[in-house]
Structure 1
Amino acid sequence: MTFDAIDVIRTKRDGGRLSAEQIRWVIDAYTRGVVPDEQVSALLMAVFFRGMAPEELAVWTQAMIDSGERKDLSPLGRPTADKHSTGGVGDKTTLPLAPLVAACGVAVPQLSGRGLGHTGGTLDKLESIPGWRADVHEEAYLAQLREVGAVICAAGNDLAPADKKLYALRDVTGTVESIPLIASSIMSKKIAEGADALVLDVKTGSGAFMKDPEASRELARTMVGLGEAAGVHTVALVTAMDRPLGRAAGNAVEVAESVEVLAGGGPADVVELTLALAREMLAGVGRGDVDPAEALRDGRAMDVWRRMISAQGGDPDAPLPHPAEKHVVVAPATGTLTRLDAYAFGVAAWRLGAGRARKEDPVSAAAGVTWTAGVGEQVVAGQPLLELHTDDPDRIPRALEALEGAVGVDTGEQPLPLLLDRITA
């Protein structure tokens, strides 16, 4: 069935509901290049202002999934669960989480991305491990899931190709900040991965895409609804990103911190969030009686990590890259640390070389920021608090500019709880 693109645009522009047939046609036609960018730009702007009903959005998302392939993981013979974070600063939970859940008997097909702007990318972090490669082809991907139980790799072009085109168009038309478009973009790829259960970590606060907790809850509810409509058991946790997670933001520094967690240590907030996500993933596939904390304590999660890194060409015993230059920032006053602004820390790490402004930019494996105390802890004026890592000392002044006002002592501010909400269908 063929429609007129202008009629589709007018329907949404005027606040009407698009039919399932109109949606399927326009997504397919745009993916094939039949409908041009300028018309879909107009449609995206209409959606931005008019929104979508749940029924429309479910069809829109399914049409994006249908533009490519949906992976079939049933031959693995074990339950599968996946996790997605909306992104933040110091958010390295994927690294310990995937091997942890795999150590509990659930396969984890984790297709991840790269960082852009102030938020880090899982693949960039892992590429700081000597030899590790992000590209895992189909046969090797399934073999690794069977033999190791977990894979973290780049997504191929066969998953939701409509999303790739639509996302690029949203980026240049000012239509990124739309909950229906954000939700369909994320969920089309995650559903296409083929996992039985999906856990969403929806960040909120200064370092998150969504700054406001209620907007984050709305996004979480929307994505949970899409997952359930597609037959994937989906739960969302709304979690704090007003301060960075853990004690490190960057690439190699976050890998080192993740290994600490797998060894039974690591920052308390990273451990708490990793275990909360693991329990949701296990419960989502009927393994709620399994305690993931035990797999951290007895070393099983670390064993899976080492096998997962080795399977992708990495050397888990190799030294991680060290920066050519370090710069220490001291605590400004004595008292309780009440502010570590996540966005400022992310920008500082980015300016030190850990992130990129464009997708094609290179990143520095050794760049990043570490800190010795978290929000709620006591500090003494003049004690070393932050350490800036970079390969280029000329980057340090700009990173310091980003951190102006980012650290607060006894300001009276109340941090968000780490886990704000749990959203189910």
Structure 2
Amino acid sequence: MLPQEIIAAKRDGLALDPASIEAFVGGYTKGSVSHAQAAAFAMAVYFQGMSMEERVALTLAMRDSGAVLDWSDLDGPVADKHSTGGVGDNVSLMLAPILAALGIYVPMISGRGLGHTGGTLDKFDAIPGYTTSPDNVLFRKVVREVGCAIIGQTADLAPADKTLYAIRDVTGTVESVPLITASILSKKLAAGLGALVLDVKTGSGAFMPTLERSRELAESLVAVANGAGLKTSALITDMNEPLASAAGNGLEVRNAVDFLTGAHQDPRLRKVTLALCAELVLMSGKAGSIGEALSLVTDALDDGRAAEKFGAMVAALGGPDDFIENMDRHLVPAPIVRDVFAISAGVVGEIDTRGVGMAVVALGGGRTNPADSIDHRVGFDRLAGLGESVDGGRPIARLHAADEASAAEAERRLRAAYRFGNAIVPPPLIAGRINPT
């Protein structure tokens, strides 16, 4: 079929066979299918949807548009996790070293933040010397010797996704569940994994704010990933408040190191992190039950092995050898640090979590377009959570800012994001689990 025939077939609600999807994606990668045709295809999928079989075919075609990593030389299972994005979500920084401490290799290929959500790579850029773009030789060396390496997407992994995402971003088709599914999974399949867990967020800080939409995405991701041969499960987790008590790149790194060393662990963050780790330990065959898996990952965190792995990864990728021990020496502080208080005392009844994320953006800690530079020093810590009382002694958060103008705007936004009322029962932290199929 010609590209225009494939577009017309999907426009009219017809199912596309794998050969047609492969031809269209292959043509787009090579340049014989134009950007305009790709945009038309995306819009047709947005309105007509795709069957699970079509989604699998699209995901595989996008995976095969570039290189596929092979980790068969390693002596243990290979696994990874993907989050759909939120505020204060620094789980990856703890998950990778916890799993590495248990003999599970984690070649984590992560992205940067956009909009109100933070990006894992932006957090690591706060660490002096850490390279998020190593060559393939160094990447493989760190994974093999340390057990985990967190880096950025290379140009040869799922290149069709990078260009198609740029088109979706400007054509109003980002929210298409089939296209989101293929975008996420094509990169994970290209990473050569043996197991994957998905953290699908729901609530005011999630791209899918309703539980119904979050479940739809989680079920699509799990079905397509398993259909493409990758053992995958998903947890649907709450994003009606920031996951960690810190939001902002360097501050989330500090929060993660404190978590790994046991200096401070936010309870919600600990529960989600260990639950996601346990999923991968179970799927990787390192435990016979989820209870056994939880015990293993808890021990790896609490006895210090995970902290050692994190420090080794940072050093192997160019960061300081003593980062864990001397974090304060290496993380640059913001020039303005002060508490933000509510207008009047009360109990936190609701948080516009997206609003908190946008307050970080207003400080210079996020992007409104991919080319923006960011300030890794800024953000908030000591964020109040749902059900907490705030008053003249307990602030909403502590602000870290570069200048007075951005500080004032961020304070305004943060106060607007918090609403006060009677004590509430927070929504379930883990709202659902989708089993491997």
Tell me if structure 2 keeps the 8 A contact 1:348–1:369.
Answer: no
Tell me if structure 1 keeps the 8 A contact 2:387–2:424.
Answer: no
| TM-score (structure 2 length as normaliser) | 0.94
Once the 2 structures are TM-superposed, how far is the Cα of residue 372 of structure 1 from its aligned partner?
Answer: 4.7
State which of 346, 357, 378 in structure 2 corresponds to 1:346.
357
Question: Which residue of structure 1 lines up, in the alignment, with residue 203 of structure 2?
Answer: 205
Question: Which residue of structure 2 lines up, in the alignment, with residue 358 of structure 1?
Answer: 369
Once the 2 structures are TM-superposed, how far is the Cα of residue 235 of structure 1 from its aligned partner?
Answer: 0.4
Q: Secondary structure at the match of 1:239?
A: strand
Which residue identity lines up with residue 115 of structure 1 in the other structure?
Answer: G
TM-superposition CA deviations, 1:256-310 (whole Å, max 9, x none): 1001110123111111111011101111101124411111111101110110000
Asked if 1:314 corresponds to 2:319, the answer is: yes
Asked if 1:286 corresponds to 2:295, the answer is: no
* Aligned-CA RMSD value: 1.4
Tell me if structure 2 keeps the 8 A contact 1:331–1:382.
Answer: no
User: For residues 396 and 35 of structure 2, what CA distance do their matches in structure 1 show?
Assistant: 49
User: For residues 412 and 268 of structure 1, what CA distance do their matches in structure 2 show?
Assistant: 19
Q: Secondary structure at the match of 1:76?
A: coil
Which residue identity lines up with residue 284 of structure 1 in the other structure?
Answer: M
Question: Which residue of structure 1 lines up, in the alignment, with residue 140 of structure 2?
Answer: 142
Asked if 1:405 corresponds to 2:413, the answer is: no
Which residue identity lines up with residue 311 of structure 1 in the other structure?
Answer: A
User: For residues 10 and 401 of structure 1, what CA distance do their matches in structure 2 show?
Assistant: 49
Once the 2 structures are TM-superposed, how far is the Cα of residue 413 of structure 1 from its aligned partner?
Answer: 5.5
Tell me if structure 2 keeps the 8 A contact 1:206–1:341.
Answer: yes
Count matched residues.
423
TM-superposition CA deviations, 1:289-333 (whole Å, max 9, x none): 441111111110111011000001111134311001124211444
TM-superposition CA deviations, 1:134-190 (whole Å, max 9, x none): 112111111111110000001101111111111011111111110000011000001
Matches within 5 A, 1:260-275: 260-264=258-262, 265-275=264-274
Q: Secondary structure at the match of 2:279?
A: helix
Question: Which residue of structure 1 lines up, in the alignment, with residue 247 of structure 2?
Answer: 249
Q: Secondary structure at the match of 2:109?
A: strand
Question: Which residue of structure 2 lines up, in the alignment, with residue 82 of structure 1?
Answer: 80
User: For residues 194 and 389 of structure 1, what CA distance do their matches in structure 2 show?
Assistant: 39
Question: Which residue of structure 2 lines up, in the alignment, with residue 296 of structure 1?
Answer: 301
Question: Which residue of structure 2 lines up, in the alignment, with residue 92 of structure 1?
Answer: 90
Which residue identity lines up with residue 274 of structure 2 in the other structure?
Answer: L
| TM-score (structure 1 length as normaliser) | 0.96
Tell me if structure 1 keeps the 8 A contact 2:336–2:402.
Answer: yes
State which of 195, 208, 224 in structure 1 corresponds to 2:193.
195
Which residue identity lines up with residue 285 of structure 2 in the other structure?
Answer: G
Question: Which residue of structure 2 lines up, in the alignment, with residue 385 of structure 1?
Answer: 396
Which residue identity lines up with residue 302 of structure 1 in the other structure?
Answer: A
TM-superposition CA deviations, 1:233-274 (whole Å, max 9, x none): 100000011111111000111001001110123111111111
Which residue identity lines up with residue 430 of structure 2 in the other structure?
Answer: L
Tell me if structure 1 keeps the 8 A contact 2:21–2:58.
Answer: yes
Asked if 1:101 corresponds to 2:99, the answer is: yes
Identity fraction in percent: 44
Tell me if structure 1 keeps the 8 A contact 2:126–2:377.
Answer: yes
Q: Secondary structure at the match of 2:347?
A: strand
Question: Which residue of structure 2 lines up, in the alignment, with residue 49 of structure 1?
Answer: 47
Tell me if structure 2 keeps the 8 A contact 1:331–1:383.
Answer: no
> What stretches of structure 1 of length at least 5 have no aligned partner?
none
Tell me if structure 2 keeps the 8 A contact 1:197–1:234.
Answer: yes
Q: Name whichever of 315-324 and 346-355 sits farther off.
A: 315-324
Matches within 5 A, 1:118-267: 118-264=116-262, 265-267=264-266
Asked if 1:330 corresponds to 2:344, the answer is: no
Tell me if structure 2 keeps the 8 A contact 1:114–1:120.
Answer: yes
Question: Which residue of structure 1 lines up, in the alignment, with residue 114 of structure 2?
Answer: 116
Once the 2 structures are TM-superposed, how far is the Cα of residue 381 of structure 1 from its aligned partner?
Answer: 4.5
> What stretches of structure 2 of length at least 5 have no aligned partner?
none
User: For residues 305 and 382 of structure 1, what CA distance do their matches in structure 2 show?
Assistant: 35
Tell me if structure 1 keeps the 8 A contact 2:87–2:117.
Answer: yes
Q: Name whichever of 388-397 and 183-192 sits farther off.
A: 388-397
Once the 2 structures are TM-superposed, how far is the Cα of residue 416 of structure 1 from its aligned partner?
Answer: 2.1
Q: Secondary structure at the match of 2:97?
A: helix
User: For residues 394 and 83 of structure 2, what CA distance do their matches in structure 1 show?
Assistant: 33
Once the 2 structures are TM-superposed, how far is the Cα of residue 404 of structure 1 from its aligned partner?
Answer: 3.9
Tell me if structure 2 keeps the 8 A contact 1:244–1:341.
Answer: no
User: For residues 47 and 347 of structure 2, what CA distance do their matches in structure 1 show?
Assistant: 43
